[in-house]
Amino acid sequence: MITVKIEKENGYYKSVSVLGHAMYDDYGKDIVCSAVSSIVITTVNAILSLDKESISYMVSKKGLNIKILKQKRVTNVLIHNMIRMLKELEKKYQENIKIL
């Protein structure tokens, strides 16, 4: 299961961790993993294209961790949009993704 952990403070996102595997299908055929990866990487790239110093991220075998370094409205809106899209996936694939 993919687990998405969100930390907020004073209405702003502090960090987001996306960990684990969906286990929906075999490697290379897992549409849930593919969707989560697309949503998260697109969001990270959009934020970095606006301000390279607003976030940092680390990719590992376990998943991806995003730290928000600057509390900017546009960064918060993009992270919020990412979480909304992940929650839509969670509704359809409750056994494969969990938002905490």
What is the Cα–Cα distance from 54 to 56, expressed in whole angstroms?
7
Q: Please state the pTM of the whole predicted model.
A: 0.91
Angle between helices 73-92 and 31-50 (to 10 degrees): 170
The superfamily (CATH) of domain 2-99 is: Cysteine protease Prp (3.30.70.1490)
How sure is the predictor about 8, in pLDDT bands with cuts at 50, 70 and 90?
very high
Per-residue pLDDT of 46-70, as tens digits, reads 999 999 999 999 999 999 999 999 9
Q: Is the pLDDT of residue 28 over 90?
A: no
pLDDT at 41 over 90: yes
* Exposure class string for 34-72: b at 16+ Cβ within 10 A, else e: ebbeebbeebbeebeeeeeebbeeeeeeebbbbebeeeb
Quote the CA–CA distance of 40 and 10 in Å, as a whole number: 23
